[in-house]
Amino acid sequence: MVSRDNPEKPARRARGRPRDWDDKTAQNTIKSLDRAMEVFEYLSAAQGKSLTALSEETDQSPATVYRILTTLQTRGLVEFDAEEQVWHIGAQAFVIGARFLRRTSLVERARPILRRLMEVTGETANLGIEKEGAVLFLSQVETHASIRAFFPPGTLSPMFASGIGKALLAQMDAARLDRVLAAAPPYAFTAQTIIDPGLLRQELSLTHSRGFAIDNEEKTVGMRCIAAPVFDMNSEAVAGISVSGPTSRVGDAEIGPLSQAVIEAAQQLSWAIGGGGGVRQG
């Protein structure tokens, strides 16, 4: 390709990154922005924090945290509750997050499938993906029942204590599974949480062979979740679909029909995004 201004000089190809983009040394890091993002991410996970609490819990000075918060406030990314004297994530953060969701057709194509799944099962239907060793919930269709599970978009949950998480872990090869579990070792949320590595691997093997995972009160007492993986055109598990509800409605007798409905929904979404549609078993 030749430049129009200088026919003899090849035009420079636009780059998305500089040549040294792999270099994460201090010279390529904006420290003030990094500190701001630390405060912003911490506040997103711990809503309703005072300036003093944010300063102490992020180990930054009150003056620095205040400048960060007021800067983010001008962009609508955080909001200040004058009556309670606490800071919250702002509406613009949701707008930006929604733009991320629109980057892929996964969420859009999943919505009608999730809605049908909720109507068929009577339980809340969820969509999640793996994000840095955790489950990131992207979408949810809530049941109309009074007692329900609630995983709003943007919620992060440990993979080892999540139906969707275990469905995705069960599809990983041994090396990747080792890395994920080493980076986020299991710990107990309830008496049902599987924290023994050997027992967890047995559970994942069973999950792989039967095609669906069960969160049996492993994250929250009284709540069960049944999940199945979603595959892309490369037969890679890129997401998971689940239904979740109280043990009073999701009992042992309901696991069979609910798991079949979840597997079918996962197959439908796999087909919708160009995957084979089948849950890999055995």
As a whole number of angstroms, the distance between CA 134 and CA 64 comes to: 30
CA dist 193 → 9, 163, 209, 235 (Å): 64, 12, 21, 29
Mean pLDDT of 34-58: 90
In the chain, which residue ranges form alpha helices assigned H by DSSP?
A: 31-45, 51-58, 62-74, 91-102, 106-121, 163-169, 174-183, 197-210, 252-272
d(CA 49, CA 47): 6
Q: Does domain 26-92 have CATH number 3.20.20.80?
A: no
Q: Which CATH number fits domain 99-272: 3.30.750.24, 3.30.450.40, 3.40.50.720, 2.40.50.140?
A: 3.30.450.40
Distance of CA 182 to the CA centre of its chain: 19
Which of the given ranges, 19-23, 25-29, 48-52, has the highest pLDDT on average? Answer: 48-52
Write the pLDDT tens digit of every residue in 182-210: 998 999 999 999 999 999 999 999 999 99
Which pTM does this prediction carry?
0.67
Q: How many CB atoms lie within 10 A of CB 19?
A: 7
pLDDT of the residue at 135? 94
CATH 3.30.450.40 spans which residues of the chain?
99-272
Residues of the chain with CATH 1.10.10.10: 26-92
Could you tell me if 54 and 42 are in contact, meaning their C-beta atoms sit under 8 angstroms apart?
Answer: yes
